[in-house]
């Protein structure tokens, strides 16, 4: 059975389109993989920044609490000292 030139051309176009689809799929898959890696790295970076911000805030709170404790001790000491000459 002999294929007509028209049928051969149609098959060639079909094969070419299939090849292009495969190439597009592989390219998209690679790009998606690279994007996923970029996002992971960006997320890790953001998490590190947030972690450092939280540590800084906690350190600031610790200092504030120490200052408040010292103020309370000083106030307690003033209140517990008997009035002079009483």
Per-residue pLDDT of the chain (86 residues; tens, 9 = 90+): 677 998 889 999 999 999 999 999 999 999 999 999 999 999 999 999 999 999 999 999 999 999 999 999 999 999 888 766 55
Structure tokens that stand for 70 in this block: 């010292």
- pLDDT (0 to 100) of residue 3: 74
Pairwise CA distance, residues 5 & 34, whole Å: 43
d(CA 20, CA 16): 6
Q: Could you report how far apart the first and last alpha carbons of the chain are, in Å? A: 127
Would you state the pLDDT for residue 86?
55
Single pTM value for the model: 0.54
* pLDDT of res. 23: 95
């Amino acid at each position: 059975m002999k294929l007509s030139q028209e049928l051969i051309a149609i098959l060639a176009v079909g094969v070419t389109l299939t090849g292009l689809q495969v190439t597009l799929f592989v390219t998209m898959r690679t790009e998606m993989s690279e994007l996923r890696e970029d996002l992971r790295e960006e997320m890790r970076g953001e998490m590190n920044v947030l972690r450092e911000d939280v540590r800084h805030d906690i350190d600031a709170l610790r200092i504030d609490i120490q200052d408040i404790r010292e103020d309370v001790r000083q106030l307690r000491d003033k209140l517990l000292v008997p009035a002079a000459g009483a």
